[in-house]
């Protein structure tokens, strides 16, 4: 029991999804385990948050691996990390009060404790609160800053997107259209391609799983070549795109989901000579680079949403216990738009 400002906050029984084993290749449900623990009460200045939605994202596959990367791995037996939208259950911090809706990074569990600096207040009047994990959250900022700041598209240019029906890719194509570009996307089903081209406004798209010759298809759909490539997948599709980049092209490397389940970095064509010939740039980024500008990005994305210039789709699985299945499905490309897990209803 903790005491702050005269308020006593109890601990809670907390269900969590923990990492049971490090997967080799595609994760299986048995690599995760449901655990139940007592969550101690929040300390001075801390906030207890009840998870409403949790996000499953491709980057989490990297956290399941214990090789060096840009962030620490999840320990065996540790709670899976990740972004959440939650409701303040109890607060020892003056900035937040019980009932507030917040974005947090409390992971795959029913409750989490965080300092107020790790929370972002969500205004439910702007958009459904789940969008704080999608179009108005990390994936939205990834699309916004990645395309505009790394890709720097100019009106009239062709922007090609892989993983184009995912949480990030579906926004990249729409932002490209807002910038006056031709937007072309690759996705893993005909239904996804229909959604992109009929509802999101992509100029063209193709199903990479049923297209035998990526080069021929890309030449057909990108007759002026490719000026900006926003890469979420890597692999043979990326190889085909790299052969068709224009002079002074920019390749934005956001994700390499086709490679995440490989135990070793794969081999492929060497691109450095092509980069000289095309005077082209390939740049990897993490959305974290732009965190000081997130207010700007969120404001612009919210404005485009309000104006009807951005659409989004959420793929929601119910129940904390189904988070592993949702995560694996996302890695397999079964989702369209942002994959979420709904853990509880708001009070």
Interacting residues toward its own copies by CB under 8 A: 69-70, 231, 234, 238, 247, 253-256, 259, 265-270, 272-286, 289
Is 211 or 246 the residue whose CB approaches its own copies more closely?
246
The DSSP bridge partners found for residue 98 are none
Contact 226, 245 (CB under 8 A): yes
Is 105 or 285 the residue whose CB approaches its own copies more closely?
285
Is 53 or 230 the residue whose CB approaches its own copies more closely?
230
Going from the C-alpha of 20 to that of each of 27, 286, 294, the distances in angstroms are 11, 27, 34
Calpha distance 325→311 (Å, rounded): 26
Is 70 or 295 the residue whose CB approaches its own copies more closely?
70
CB of residue 208 vs its own copies: minimum separation in angstroms? 17
CB of residue 222 vs its own copies: minimum separation in angstroms? 17
CB-hemisphere CA count at 13 Å for 152? 8
CB of residue 179 vs its own copies: minimum separation in angstroms? 21
CB of residue 261 vs its own copies: minimum separation in angstroms? 12
CB of residue 244 vs its own copies: minimum separation in angstroms? 12
User: What is the C-alpha end-to-end distance of the chain, expressed in Å?
Assistant: 23
- The candidate with the shortest Cα–Cα distance to 81, out of 102, 63, 67, 58, is 63
Is 39 or 161 the residue whose CB approaches its own copies more closely?
161
Contact 107, 79 (CB under 8 A): yes
**Tokens read off for 115:** 């300092």
Calpha distance 22→261 (Å, rounded): 11
Calpha distance 63→104 (Å, rounded): 18
Calpha distance 132→141 (Å, rounded): 10
Radius of gyration (Cα) for the chain, nearest Å? 21
Residues found in the chain: 347
Backbone CA torsion sign across 54, 59, 64, 66: negative
Is 98 or 243 the residue whose CB approaches its own copies more closely?
243
CB of residue 44 vs its own copies: minimum separation in angstroms? 34
CB of residue 246 vs its own copies: minimum separation in angstroms? 12
Is 2 or 275 the residue whose CB approaches its own copies more closely?
275
CB of residue 270 vs its own copies: minimum separation in angstroms? 5
Is 7 or 277 the residue whose CB approaches its own copies more closely?
277
CA 156-307-159 angle, 5° bins: 25
């Amino acid at each position: 029991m903790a005491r702050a400002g005269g308020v006593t906050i109890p601990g809670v029984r907390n269900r969590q999804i923990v990492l049971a084993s490090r997967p080799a290749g595609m994760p299986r449900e048995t690599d995760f385990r449901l655990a139940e623990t007592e969550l101690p009460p929040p300390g001075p200045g801390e906030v207890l948050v009840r998870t409403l939605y949790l996000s499953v994202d491709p980057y989490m596959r990297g956290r399941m691996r214990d090789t060096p990367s840009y962030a620490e791995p999840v320990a065996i037996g540790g709670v899976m990390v990740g972004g959440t939208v939650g409701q303040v259950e109890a607060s020892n911090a003056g900035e937040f009060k019980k009932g507030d809706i917040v974005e947090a990074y409390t992971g795959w569990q029913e409750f989490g404790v965080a300092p107020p600096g790790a929370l972002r207040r969500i205004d439910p009047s702007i958009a459904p609160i789940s969008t704080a994990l999608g179009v108005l959250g990390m994936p939205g900022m990834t699309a916004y800053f990645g395309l505009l700041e790394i890709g720097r598209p100019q009106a009239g240019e062709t922007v090609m997107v892989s993983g184009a029906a995912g949480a990030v890719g579906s926004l990249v194509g729409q932002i490209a259209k807002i910038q006056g570009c031709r937007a072309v996307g690759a996705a893993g089903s005909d239904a996804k391609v229909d959604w992109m081209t009929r509802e999101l406004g992509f100029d063209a798209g193709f199903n990479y799983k049923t297209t035998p010759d990526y080069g021929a298809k890309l030449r057909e759909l990108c007759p002026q070549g490719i000026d900006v490539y926003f890469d979420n997948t890597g692999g043979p599709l990326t190889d085909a795109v790299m052969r068709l980049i224009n002079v002074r092209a920019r390749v934005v490397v956001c994700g390499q989901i086709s490679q995440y389940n490989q135990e070793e970095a794969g081999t492929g064509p060497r691109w450095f000579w092509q980069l000289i010939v095309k005077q082209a740039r390939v740049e990897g980024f993490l959305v974290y680079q732009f965190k000081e500008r997130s207010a700007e990005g969120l404001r612009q994305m919210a404005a485009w949403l309000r104006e009807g210039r951005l659409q989004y789709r959420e793929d929601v699985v119910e129940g904390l216990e189904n988070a592993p299945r949702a995560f694996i499905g996302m890695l397999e490309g079964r989702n369209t738009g942002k994959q979420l897990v709904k853990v509880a209803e708001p009070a």
